[in-house]
A = this chain, B = another copy of it.
Amino acid sequence: MPTLPLPPGSTIGILGGGQLGRMLALAAARLGFDVAVLERDADSPAGRVAARTIVAAYDDDAALADLVSVAQVITYEFENVPAASVLKLEAMGAVVAPGPDALSVAQDRVAEKQFLNASGAPTVAFASADSADEAVAAAQEMGAPLLMKTRREGYDGKGQRWVEHVADAAATFEALGGVPVILEAPAEYVRELSIIAARGRDGATAVYPLAENHHEHGVLRRSLAPAQVSAETALQAEKIALRVLDGLNYVGVIGIELFEMKDGQLLVNEIAPRVHNSGHWTQDGCEVDQFEQHIRAVAGWPLGPTAARARVEMLNLLGDEVETWAKLAHEPETRIHLYGKRAAKTGRKMGHVNKVKPL
């Protein structure tokens, strides 16, 4: 077991080589850590700023052993890392954060909603179905329209479809691949909000101000932070965050997506056991951003301050929007964050900008 708090000069392992891994690696470097990335692609955004890349699949035992031999603490940039890999890393003596509880809850939309409700964090009504017949029965019980999602995998709007009529439930089940699904009642929300929160190894917690999020085709397009919310709403969100963090005995940064209902109630849409796109505004809006905060937490360091020092409009650069960099570079209020991805495929997150204004 490593000495905690983890001393600078130690190596932090990151499963995943995308933009979140890259920004985590940059934050870790600032604190004097080395980073080792485990990633299938030898030329990844995170790998190119890390001290080393182990090129392998997440379930490659030899690669996991390699990672444990160099890294004293290991984290991951996204929640679809195999839970079995995390368990193997732990069995080999590595400290992994967030832990397997958070991962198993976040990987199964049914387990996630069950956990949330049991923790006192409300969600929409939902049902699970493992077969077309079960899907039909659930749809009859709940009524249409409803949203059908695969229980596992899927992100940025992938792996989900609307069921407009109860009669379509079986066909939708098959269209989603005939795998176990969750059926969710529609949320008639007025706004999408999110809260980025952190919990240290000592159980201390910290929450950032809320962000207001705007999606397009299931992908985050724009976040405004701090969101203009009432003190009550902010308190409600903080309570939810603390219940989730404590309920999972969580270590690290978590992103919690919320629906704000007409009556002011907040429902949890989903949780992401990692740094989150709607928290990118913290890079230019807070003294300690979500990336450094995550590194601090997993390394057993005390959490840093989370107050906003500026108002930020975060805009994702999707696909060929990244080609506007030269224009963006001329805007004095615009901070540019690009991910070094080689191909600007349609809809792909290539970077983001934070437009910074005084509070």
Interface residues of A (CB under 8 A from B): 5, 7-9, 22, 25-26, 29-34, 48-51, 284, 287-288, 296, 301-302, 304-305, 309-310, 322, 325-326, 329-330, 332, 335-340, 342, 351, 356
**Chain B residues in 8 Å Cβ range of A34:** 48, 340
A284 contact set on B, CB distance < 8 A: 287
Which residues in B have their C-beta under 8 angstroms from that of A287? 284, 332, 335, 356
Name the residue on B nearest A351 (C-beta).
B32
Q: Which residue of B29, B326, B330 is within 8 Å of A26 (Cβ)?
A: B29
Given the complex, which residues of B lie within 8 Å of A338, measured CB to CB?
Answer: 8, 30-32
Kindly state the separation between the CA atoms of A51 and B22 in the bound complex, as whole angstroms.
12
Contact, CB under 8 Å: A329 / B48: no
Check A340/B305 contact, CB under 8 A, given A287-B335, A287-B356.
Answer: no
Query: What is the distance, in angstroms, from A3's C-beta to the closest C-beta of chain B?
Result: 11
Q: Are B325 and A33 in contact (CB under 8 A)?
A: no
Chain B residues with CB under 8 Å of A335's CB are: 287-288
A169 to chain B, nearest CB (A): 44
Contact residues in B for A310 (Cβ distance below 8 Å): 309
The number of times this chain is found in the oligomer is 2
A8: B residues at CB distance < 8 A: 322, 325, 338, 340, 351
Q: Is the CB of A32 within 8 A of B330?
A: no
List residues of chain B with CB within 8 A of the CB of A340: 8-9, 29, 32-34
Residue of B nearest to A283 (CB): B30
Of B49, B301, B326, which one neighbours A329 at CB under 8 angstroms?
Answer: B301
Residues of B within 8 A of A329 (CB): 5, 296, 301-302
Which one of B7, B29, B305, B330 contacts A22 once the chains associate, using CB atoms below 8 Å? Answer: B29
Question: Please, how many angstroms separate the alpha-carbon atoms of A29 and B329 in the complex?
Answer: 15
Contact A26 B30, CB 8 Å, known A49-B51, A51-B49 = yes
CB A275 to nearest CB in B, in angstroms, measures 15
Residues of B within 8 A of A31 (CB): 336, 338
Q: Which residues does chain B contribute within 8 Å of A48, judged by CB atoms?
A: 29, 34, 51
Cβ B29 vs Cβ A49 within 8 A: yes
Distance between Cα atoms of A287 and B312 in the complex (Å): 12
Chain B residues near A288 (CB-CB < 8 A): 335
CB distance from A43 to the nearest CB of B (A): 8
A29 to B336, CA, bound (A): 11
